[in-house]
Amino acid sequence: DAKTTQPPSMDCAEGRAANLPCNHSTISGNEYVYWYRQIHSQGPQYIIHGLKNNETNEMASLIITEDRKSSTLILPHATLRDTAVYYCIAPLYNQGGKLIFGQGTELSVKP
Amino acid sequence: GAVVSQHPSRVICKSGTSVKIECRSLDFQATTMFWYRQFPKQSLMLMATSNEGSKATYEQGVEKDKFLINHASLTLSTLTVTSAHPEDSSFYICSARAGASREKLFFGSGTQLSVL
pLDDT digit string (tens) for A90-102? Answer: 888 777 788 889 8
- Tell me the residue type at A38: Q
Distance between B51 CA and the closest CA of chain A, angstroms: 10
Q: In the predicted model, what is the mean pLDDT of chain B?
A: 92
How far, CA to CA in Å, does A35 sit from each of A73, A89, B7?
Answer: 8, 6, 25
3-state helix, strand, coil in chain A (%, to 5): 5, 45, 50
Instruction: For chains A and B, count residue pairs whose Cβ atoms are closer than 8 Å.
Output: 62
Residues 6+ apart with CB under 8 A from A55: A48, A49, A61, A62
Distance between B17 CA and the closest CA of chain A, angstroms: 24
- Closest CB to A49: pick one of B32, B91, B104: B104
Sign of CA dihedral B39, B42, B48, B49: positive
Q: Per mean pLDDT, which range of A17-26, A71-80, B100-109 is the poorest? A: B100-109
Interface of A with B in 44-83 (CB under 8 A): 44-46, 49
Find the length of chain A.
111
Q: Per mean pLDDT, which range of A20-34, A53-67, B36-50, B59-73 is the poorest? A: A20-34
Q: Residue A31: which pLDDT band, with cuts at 50, 70 and 90?
A: confident
Rounded CA-CA distance B18/A22 in Å is 40
Residues 6+ apart with CB under 8 A from B61: none
Three-state DSSP at B87 gives helix
**Partner-chain contact B107 A100, CB within 8 Å:** no
Residues 6+ apart with CB under 8 A from A34: A46, A48, A49, A88, A89, A90, A91, A99, B104
Which chain B residues contact residue A62 at CB under 8 A?
A: none
Q: Is A106 on the interface with B (CB under 8 A)?
A: no
pLDDT reported for residue A1: 46
Q: Is B54 on the interface with A (CB under 8 A)?
A: no
- For chain A, state the CA radius of gyration: 13
- Residue bearing the bigger pLDDT, B28 or B66: B66
Give which of A82, A79, A98 is closest to A90, Cα–Cα.
Answer: A98
Which chain A residues contact residue B36 at CB under 8 A?
A: 101
The average pLDDT across A6-13 equals 97
Q: Are A6 and A102 in contact (CB under 8 A)?
A: yes
Q: Is A86 on the interface with B (CB under 8 A)?
A: no
Rounded CA-CA distance B44/A89 in Å is 12
Q: Give the mutation candidate from B44, B55, B71 for the A interface (greatest A CB count, under 10 A).
A: B44
